[in-house]
Amino acid sequence: MARVPAVATTSAVAAEAARRRTFAVISHPDAGKSTITEALALHAQVIGEAGAVHGKAGRRGVVSDWMAMEQQRGISITSAVLQFAYRDLVINLLDTPGHADFSEDTYRVLTAVDCAVMLLDAAKGLEPQTLKLFEVCRARRIPVITFINKWDRPGNEPLALLDEIEQRINLRPTPITWPVGIAGQFHGVVDRRTGDMTAFHRTPGGATAAIEERLDPAEAARRHGADWQRAVEELDLLTLTGADHDQDAFTAATTTPVLFGAAVANSGVRQLLDVLATHAPAPQARPDLTGRPRPVDAPFAGFVFKIQANMNKAHRDQVAFVRVCSGRFTRGMTVSHAPTGRPFATKYAQQMFGADRETIDEAYPGDVIGLVNATALRIGDTLYDDPPVTFPPLPSFAPEHFAVLRAADAGAFKRFRRGVEQLDAEGVVQVLRSDRRGDQAPVLAAVGPMQFEVATARLETEFGVTTRLEHLPYRATRRTDRGGEEALRGVTGAEVLVRARDGALLALFTDDWRMRAISDRHRGLTLDPLLATS
């Protein structure tokens, strides 16, 4: 009897990887990220009704938003993963928090995607948070697809929007579709590859996919006269300037395919899925700590990009989200935990679909698995099946806000300590310590002050500890070493603390001026910049 050769299994994994598209949407709050998430899921026919994915106050159903606080504020604080099928593909959409205060969390999510969709509001163009997130994509060379949203409302000229993208972020726009009708009078889009127009007819309430009608150029001209003519002229201009899709330039992140649409009416969303399917990169070999790539069909390996507690109120638990980078993951398999070299049993591995859980049997490169109650795992940890591999650690942002945290009731210290460790493990805040300040008064460091609110609210609701925050006047942070710690001891306006997460020594200064004055006085002081958010 013939045995299946090992190579067959290997290529089966490669084929599964090739079917995956793993991406995140980057946008400024209110550009329509939640709306387009609904619309994508609707077109991919996993969730039949658009309202089901939304988590904003007053709307029904929550998949990607978890916390009560988030619902009150109507912003997305935490990230979830949606998986859906489209054609013969498996699409993983990783949700990212929109608020600038949570950009550190977003950054970590972006380490786990192969592509990003940059969502712009047609009337607003590039907004501050979009720019910040785009810079993260640029630093990681993540290919970006641009979706210009809200075309059903008055907005900017399409050519002006392209110009803004090219001038401000030096990314060459290569439109795939082009709008017929100015923003506010949207009839449909021309597919530049075929020259045909797709007309969109809105369905009442937008709860089902938009009805699309294919028009050849003659019919489009007959129905849409001047609007069609204008689109044709603009298209000629694009062709003249060579703004055509080039797959290599796109995957090298120097050009961006552009689509136009209105997520609220589900218009242009199928075209976005098609571009994801045909152009977005499938998972590739991921470089390890030494830069050596681990091929997708090597044995299983992945890394933790997010940890979150209490996703399910009924079972107090913690979930570590692992992006699969290579191999086949099967439920119950025992893998190795790179930082400790210890075996790690995954028998409770579950795939996350918002608040509903589905136990999965297998996962492939590009997929995300949620490991429940894996308290030994930390953000950035690698898990693997032999041969061993360690992926690079996830960088942290330079914190800009600092506060001493104390339990209001000294008797609650045990719970306080457990809670602080949990928040640190999840990366909700960075926890800094020093011998001088002691265990009872750690310093919390954050990129945005809202992280403090989340931390204290969670200590209260999940650990039953009321806390007090005392804000510290530090504004500038640098990485230093033992020599720096010695030199800065007792210096006014400066302090050195140890980051609990990785043991890094951080020097904090009340302002940039003081930092420069101190470093002028202490020649040879090591003060390295941390990754900044702006």
In the complex, the residues that contact ligand GDP under the rule CB under 6 A are 27, 29-35, 56, 98, 149-150, 152-153, 262-264
Q: Are strands 467-472 and 430-433 parallel, antiparallel or unpaired?
A: unpaired
- In b/e form, how buried is each residue of 390-426, taking b as 16+ CB within 10 angstroms? bbebbebbbbbbbbbbebeeeebeebbbebbebbbbb
- Cβ distance to ligand GDP smaller for residue 34 or 336: 34
Q: How far is the CB of 265 from ligand GDP (least distance, A)?
A: 6
- Cβ distance to ligand GDP smaller for residue 27 or 382: 27
> What length does the chain have?
534
**What does each C-alpha distance from 425 to 65, 452, 532 come to in angstroms?**
20, 15, 21
**What does each C-alpha distance from 77 to 263, 277, 296 come to in angstroms?**
21, 28, 31
Q: How far is the CB of 248 from ligand GDP (least distance, A)?
A: 31
Residue 260 has φ and ψ, to the nearest 5°, of -120, 145
Reading the block at residue 499, the tokens are 């980051």
Q: How far is the CB of 271 from ligand GDP (least distance, A)?
A: 14
Q: How far is the CB of 211 from ligand GDP (least distance, A)?
A: 16
- Estimate the crossing angle of helix 158-169 against helix 128-140, to 10 degrees: 60
Give the residue among 344, 321, 297, 303 at the shortest CA–CA distance from 83: 321
- Cβ distance to ligand GDP smaller for residue 31 or 338: 31
Contact (Cβ atoms closer than 8 angstroms) between residue 316 and residue 373: no
CA dist., res. 524 & res. 490, Å (int) = 18
CA dist., res. 194 & res. 136, Å (int) = 34
- Cβ distance to ligand GDP smaller for residue 77 or 374: 77
Q: How far is the CB of 182 from ligand GDP (least distance, A)?
A: 14
- Cβ distance to ligand GDP smaller for residue 264 or 515: 264
- Cβ distance to ligand GDP smaller for residue 25 or 432: 25
CA dist., res. 464 & res. 386, Å (int) = 42
Give the residue among 502, 418, 501, 499 at the shortest CA–CA distance from 458: 418
Q: How far is the CB of 309 from ligand GDP (least distance, A)?
A: 24
Cβ-proximal residue to ligand GDP, closest one: 32
Residue 322: CB atoms within 10 Å: 29
- Cβ distance to ligand GDP smaller for residue 30 or 164: 30
CA dist., res. 125 & res. 76, Å (int) = 21
Q: How far is the CB of 94 from ligand GDP (least distance, A)?
A: 14
Contact (Cβ atoms closer than 8 angstroms) between residue 301 and residue 77: no
Residue 295 known to bind ligand:
no
Establish whether the linkage from the previous residue to 387 is cis, with ω within 30° of 0. yes
Residue 458 has φ and ψ, to the nearest 5°, of -75, -35
* β-bridge partners, 528: 479
Residue 99 known to bind ligand:
yes
Residue 449 known to bind ligand:
no
- Cβ distance to ligand GDP smaller for residue 201 or 436: 201
Residue 511 known to bind ligand:
no
Q: Is 360 helix (H, G, I), strand (E, B) or coil?
A: coil
* β-bridge partners, 214: 198
In this structure, what is the dihedral angle of CA atoms 267, 272, 277, 283, given to the nearest 10 degrees? -140
CA dist., res. 453 & res. 444, Å (int) = 11
Q: Give Cβ neighbours of residue 410 (< 8 Å, ≥ 6 apart).
A: 440
CA dist., res. 175 & res. 244, Å (int) = 7
Amino acid letter at 240? L
* β-bridge partners, 505: 480, 498
Contact (Cβ atoms closer than 8 angstroms) between residue 149 and residue 121: yes
- Cβ distance to ligand GDP smaller for residue 77 or 459: 77
Residue 456 known to bind ligand:
no
- Cβ distance to ligand GDP smaller for residue 31 or 454: 31
Give the residue numbers of the binding site: 95-99
Give the residue numbers of the binding site for GTP: 95-99
